Amino acid sequence: MNRLIYLDYAATTPVDPDVIAQMVQCLGMDGIFGNPASKSHYYGWHAGQLVDRARQQIANLIHAQAKEIIWTSGATESNNLALKGIAQSDLSKGKHIITSQIEHKAILDTCHELEQQGFEVTYLQPEPETGIIHPEMVRDAIRSDTLLVSLMMVNNELGTITDIAAIGEITHAHGIYFHVDAAQAAGKIAIDVDAMHVDLMSFSGHKVYGPKGIGALYMRTRPDLKLKAQIHGGGHELGCRSGTLAPHQIVGMGAAFALAKQYLHAEQLRLSVLREKLLHGLEKLTSIHLNGHATQHVANYLNVSFSADNAARIIQSIKQVAAVSSGSACNSNLAGSSHVLASLGRSTTLAENTIRFSFGKCSSEAEIDMLLVAIVENKGIPFITFD
């Protein structure tokens, strides 16, 4: 069976070979396999040292302190811990939360759960077509009882960037906690949690060429910021998240974030060339609608809706040669079109004829050429040069 061109890096990334090598060293008897919580022997000490180093590697990418990093099983758990932990820590601070209609389901479903517990949630509608959440939208939604604002930095379907720094200025001025889902932003855009006035930030290892099953939550050091633990049993991770730490996964995530910091800018420049090549190639072939902002985006994603009469055939031809997505991988088992595209004002027909292309380390211009040629051949139209 021929391997498909992989263009679904937003769903998950392959683990970097250098990351794998470091993880393997934490598995066997000859490696550093101990329980970091075991403080009475060197097996535990060595494991603890690696965990601390990885904590610092996460902190380095976002200009934080290592002690502000809490390990979790992934961004979904980090999001749950941030929102539920804040909401349930002190009910006297207010019961109003602001988020948006185009957040990841880990945020939306958590907000729906909190609504069942008596909280009120304002779901901001993004700017049509672009998916931008403007700072003034947040400012206008703030109430006297607003406890928390939670927004993603880079939308997982569109690649659109939210102006987190500007929104952080607003939340900071009002004394409101600010949580940011940065699962799709880490390693793609510069992050400075202090400059952006972010209090909580969620990360995932497997979106940054690290292993699955590991994530982190940044929690700013401030006296009034406390989280109610959602997993109990041992009081690990500052009492916020109990459970034995997995050094091999943590080391993998730390190594991946260190590599991401090193190559961030160069990789964005390289991928921007691929994105523009594919976008212009598709525009030559057929009628498409760009979903997301034309300039305020990371280079890794291209989300387009096909509007020609033969849209279904074009999409079929793409899926015959490339692994792509129709939306978020977390929504793939749900019926119906993307909630993100619906919030942008896209019709059901356009939303159903949409593909999210996402690029990564192994993506190349040759692969883009192969994809475009395959579309031409399957459409039965004359060959076009895509230079």
Q: Please identify every residue annotated as catalytic.
A: 330
Q: d(Cα 191, Cα 185) in Å, to the nearest integer?
A: 8
Residue 198's nearest CA partner among 229, 231, 162, 241 is 162
- Sign of the torsion angle spanned by Cα atoms 294, 297, 298, 302: negative
How many Å from the N-terminal Cα to the C-terminal Cα in the chain? Answer: 30
Q: In Å, what is the CA distance from 150 to each residue of 94, 111, 162, 179?
A: 15, 10, 12, 5
